[in-house]
Homo-oligomer: A and B are copies of this chain.
Amino acid sequence: MPARLNLDSSLIDTLWVLWAAALVFVMQAGFLCLEAGTTRTKNAINVAMKNVADFAIAVSVFWLVGFAIMFGDSYHGFVGTSLLGWQIDASGSWVITIFIFQSMFCATAATIVSGAVAERMPFLAYTWTALWIAFIIYPVFGHWAWGGLLGGKEGWLGSLGFVDFAGSTVVHSVGGWVALAAVLSIGPRAGRFSFGKPPTAFPSGNLPLAMLGALFMILGWFGFNGGSTLAVTSQIPIILANTVLGAVGGILSGMLMGFRTRRYADVMYAINGAIAGLVAVTASTHVISLQAAFGLGAVSGVLMVLTSEWLLKKHIDDAVSAIPAHLVSGIWGTLALPWVADLTLLDSGLSRSAQFGIQLLGVVVCGVWSFGSAWLLFRITRRFLPLRVSPEAEKWALI
């Protein structure tokens, strides 16, 4: 039997991160409920199936290769080169702990896409996409921002001072950019848009289930943000309080915007308001006040509604509004950070505007890399695998 650990700090840190990992896993349940509840009944099971399949694929691939690319010894700040699947075992319990926690993050990034492309992307093409997100797209950008976490050289973006505490950009924007590339590549669902007419509203199959999903997302975010300290510090309470207030700000502003345009409490705006608020505070939750967290969340809810409407106008069909809720909010939260952060806590030694420059660089690099590589992936993939089901299959939900 292994020797009993001393009750030192590192042990408590381990338990904390594992607790958080379990909560981040709850976000998989959140995505499943949210997406299966939001789409049409006929497609609910396809959506649910994709959620579970992408989890299995993302974790496997991240275990085998992705984790190494993201957190292995850095090759000049660009890519990790150790900690491949069969090397993790022997690297000690802290590395394994980080692997569990981060594999949940990777699965989150992959799952974001499934909602946007719901109801018309075939199962094979979708799981193929999830594989590449976990294999390359997520880990490479992750390395640039977070590499060096387990020691050794930092990723190049992180070493410049880019701050993204728990992944507004690293997780949510990456997922959102791939989702955007995907919906542009495969086009809207049949019957969604016709020129000269307002978009056809597709009935959500089970809104209470979607609402339950939103609650699971909030719960999961306790772990997503809370665990990202990777240590038990005195910041944890404010991090969690900011997370809750970000969600609450997003719910309220999303609801009010919905009320304003539609004269009733729109469920999807409340749900996506919660997510938008959560994503927005994720970058900076460790260095902002409760008031700032509420404000970031509230603004994020407004941006989410405006973007949703803009996407509709542009005939870009995002079945669950993943792009407004994850991509736009991720950009917002990352760029807002320098202006709301307590610089003494941030401790980067940069002025607000210099920090903003770095944040902007990170956001742009994320867009170029994630959207670009996903776009390339879809251009290549479509030569040998259909990215879209046939019209009959779409009609009869044989996805």
Contacts of A347 on B, CB cut-off 8 Å?
1
One of A15-23, A178-186, A306-314, A365-373 at the interface: A15-23
A48 and B237 contact, CB distance less than 8 A: no
One of A83-91, A143-151, A322-330, A375-383 at the interface: A83-91
Q: Is A93 an interface residue (CB 8 A)?
A: yes
**What is the CB-to-nearest-CB distance from A254 to chain B, in angstroms, rounded to a whole number?**
9
Q: Is A233 an interface residue (CB 8 A)?
A: yes
B1 and A294 contact, CB distance less than 8 A: no
Q: Is A51 an interface residue (CB 8 A)?
A: yes
Contacts of A88 on B, CB cut-off 8 Å?
241, 290
A18 and B237 contact, CB distance less than 8 A: yes
Closest residue of chain B to A39 (Cβ to Cβ) is B208
Q: Is A283 an interface residue (CB 8 A)?
A: no
B22 and A22 contact, CB distance less than 8 A: no
Q: Is A279 an interface residue (CB 8 A)?
A: no
Q: Is A201 an interface residue (CB 8 A)?
A: no
One of A2-10, A189-197, A354-362 at the interface: A2-10
Chain A residues numbered 16-37 whose CB sits less than 8 Å from any CB in chain B: 16, 18-19, 21-23, 25-26, 28-29, 32-33, 36-37
Closest residue of chain B to A45 (Cβ to Cβ) is B207
Distance in angstroms between the alpha carbons of A5 and B233 in the assembled complex: 6
**What is the CB-to-nearest-CB distance from A325 to chain B, in angstroms, rounded to a whole number?**
15
Distance in angstroms between the alpha carbons of A86 and B26 in the assembled complex: 31
B208 and A63 contact, CB distance less than 8 A: no
**What is the CB-to-nearest-CB distance from A170 to chain B, in angstroms, rounded to a whole number?**
19
Q: Is A137 an interface residue (CB 8 A)?
A: no
Give which listed residue, B89, B218, B291, contacts A289 with CB less than 8 A.
B89
> Copy number in this complex?
3
One of A73-81, A96-104, A152-160, A333-341 at the interface: A96-104
A5 and B211 contact, CB distance less than 8 A: no
B231 and A265 contact, CB distance less than 8 A: no
Q: Is A167 an interface residue (CB 8 A)?
A: no
Contacts of A125 on B, CB cut-off 8 Å?
none
Distance in angstroms between the alpha carbons of A209 and B63 in the assembled complex: 28
A49 and B209 contact, CB distance less than 8 A: no
Chain A residues numbered 290-314 whose CB sits less than 8 Å from any CB in chain B: 290-291, 294
Contacts of A15 on B, CB cut-off 8 Å?
12, 16, 232, 236
Contacts of A22 on B, CB cut-off 8 Å?
23, 219, 222
B55 and A248 contact, CB distance less than 8 A: yes
Give which listed residue, B47, B60, B215, B345, contacts A252 with CB less than 8 A.
B60
**What is the CB-to-nearest-CB distance from A292 to chain B, in angstroms, rounded to a whole number?**
9
Residue of A22, A63, A94, A207 with most partner-chain B CB within 10 A: A22
- Known pairs A18-B236, A63-B245 / 20 extra A-B pairs, C-beta < 8 Å: A5-B232, A7-B7, A11-B234, A22-B23, A26-B219, A29-B215, A32-B212, A48-B208, A49-B267, A52-B211, A53-B270, A56-B255, A60-B252, A60-B294, A85-B291, A86-B291, A88-B290, A93-B235, A96-B241, A123-B265
Can you offer 16 A-B residue contacts whose CB atoms are under 8 A?
A2-B233, A5-B234, A11-B12, A14-B236, A37-B208, A45-B208, A45-B267, A52-B271, A60-B249, A60-B252, A60-B294, A86-B289, A86-B290, A88-B241, A89-B290, A96-B290
